[in-house]
Amino acid sequence: MKYKLFFKIYILVFILEISIVLLDVLFYANSSKIGALELTRFSNLIVAIISFPINLLGRNLPFYALNFSSSLGYMLINVFIHSLVVFSIVLALKKKLKINLSFT
């Protein structure tokens, strides 16, 4: 039961992080602005935040590693770490609030 919940959280976090990175690339390619606001500044900040645990190993990790396979490996490890954090929070909330969060 807990593995199923973790897997769902992992997939959700993976899709969310891929979407954020793709939006960052899109904003950078199009030099997107809303008024005087540059969207690339915000998207770069968000990418820096979501790459936190792995970027302690190197500034370029996980999304901009030298080759695709190592980049993908680092990103999957990073998503795993984020999923563990979210999973722990969900379990703590379930225990404290005694509610059924099944994400089904």
| pLDDT for the residue numbered 12 | 94
User: Is 103 inside a domain boundary?
Assistant: no
User: Is 104 inside a domain boundary?
Assistant: no
User: Is 102 inside a domain boundary?
Assistant: no
Question: Which of 18, 7, 9, 80 is CA-nearest to residue 47?
Answer: 18
Q: What is the pTM of this model?
A: 0.74
Count how many domains the chain has: 1
| pLDDT for the residue numbered 13 | 92
- The domain in which residue 75 lies consists of 2-97
Question: Which of 34, 24, 17, 19 is CA-nearest to residue 86?
Answer: 17
Strand (E) or helix (H) holding 30 = helix 2-30
| pLDDT for the residue numbered 49 | 79
Task: Classify 25 in phi/psi space as left (phi over 0), alpha (psi -120 to 50) or beta.
Answer: alpha
* Residue where the block lists tokens 């999957």: 76
CA–CA dist 94, 22 (Å, integer): 33
pLDDT average per 10 residues of sequence, the chain (104 residues):
88 90 77 63 77 72 63 84 92 79 57
